[in-house]
């Protein structure tokens, strides 16, 4: 099998199973975090530890923010979780954040899970996560671009020639064609929103258990954030399942 064919085949397979990567990162991250805490973290018990955890949360929310901006400005069947049906693109997105970077959703995913990876307080794991993410998504991005190239031809190549793949560039920014759809954001991004809070609660709970022999967090701020985050998710899940409040034609 030619290398480019193998890359495309691997990319399509990984695309359909890309939701597994966060699980892998979470499991490896928890194992690393436990090792780091039991070995003696430099930040353990320090006054900076809580501030560092909030920095990690900010990094994760930067990633979520990128995803929100991306998903909220795109039409239906272009950006989202097209996992089971494979590649889907009824139109080529070239405005808004797509005028700055070709794969904004994966940029957003990177920062979302980088924030979680940083909770391990282990620089080697952070480097490993970055390498794993790149190798994993490099093939997915290759497969996606092969699909778009075949479907949109010269329009795709013209856009790709002036738009970086992963590093945002603001020089060619174009205003999005569509306004921000809050309904679509709430419908599509609630799972990522919940995942951040759950991951942080697990990591911080383990830290507290190792340091204080108690899984329940001592910080009221983190407990409140977790309760509020889960409550918002439950409300959005119920609204999506039992109402049409999030329905929008073409979005």
Amino acid 190: pLDDT: 94
Amino acid 82: pLDDT: 52
Amino acid 181: pLDDT: 94
Task: Give the residue from 213, 237, 239, 217 showing the smallest Cα distance to 227.
Answer: 217
Measured distance CA(142)–CA(107) in Å, rounded = 15
Take residue 30 and report the two structure tokens written for it: 């928890």
Could you please report the per-residue DSSP string of 44-66? TT-TTHHHHHHHHHHHHHHHHHH
Q: Which of 1.10.101, 3.40.210, 1.25.40, 1.20.120 would CATH assign to domain 3-188?
A: 1.20.120
What pTM was estimated for this model as a whole? 0.89
Amino acid 8: pLDDT: 76
Amino acid 183: pLDDT: 93
Residues of the chain where predicted confidence (pLDDT) is lower than 50: none
Amino acid 86: pLDDT: 58
Amino acid 218: pLDDT: 65
Could you please report the per-residue DSSP string of 102-142? S-HHHHHHHHHHHHHHHTT--HHHHHHHHHHHHHHHHHHHH
Domain boundaries, the chain: 3-188
Coil, strand or helix: which one is 96? strand
Residue with tokens 């490099």: 138
Measured distance CA(223)–CA(176) in Å, rounded = 37
Residue 20 CA neighbour count, 13 Å, CB half:
7
Amino acid 27: pLDDT: 92
Amino acid 85: pLDDT: 56
């Amino acid at each position: 099998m030619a290398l480019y064919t193998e890359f495309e085949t691997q990319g399509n397979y990984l695309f359909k199973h890309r939701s597994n990567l966060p699980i892998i990162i979470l499991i490896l991250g928890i194992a690393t975090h436990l090792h780091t805490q039991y070995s003696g973290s430099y930040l353990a018990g320090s006054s900076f530890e809580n501030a560092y955890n909030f920095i990690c949360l900010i990094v994760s929310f930067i990633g979520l923010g990128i995803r929100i901006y991306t998903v909220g400005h795109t039409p239906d069947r272009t950006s989202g979780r097209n996992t089971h049906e494979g590649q889907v693109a009824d139109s080529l997105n070239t405005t808004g954040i797509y005028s700055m970077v070709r794969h904004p959703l994966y940029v957003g995913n990177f920062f979302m899970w980088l924030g979680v990876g940083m909770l391990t307080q282990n620089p080697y794991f952070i480097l490993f996560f970055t390498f794993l993410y790149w190798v994993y998504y490099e093939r997915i991005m290759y497969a996606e671009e092969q699909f778009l190239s075949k479907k949109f031809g010269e329009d795709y190549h013209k856009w790709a020639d002036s738009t970086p793949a992963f590093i945002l560039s603001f020089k060619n920014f174009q205003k999005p064609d569509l306004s921000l759809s809050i309904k679509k954001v709430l419908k599509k991004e609630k799972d990522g929103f919940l995942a951040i809070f759950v991951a942080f609660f697990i990591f911080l709970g383990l830290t507290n258990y190792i340091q204080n022999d108690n899984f329940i967090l001592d910080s009221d701020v983190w407990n409140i954030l977790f309760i509020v985050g889960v409550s918002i998710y439950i409300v959005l899940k119920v609204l999506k399942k039992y109402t049409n409040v999030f329905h929008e034609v073409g979005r």
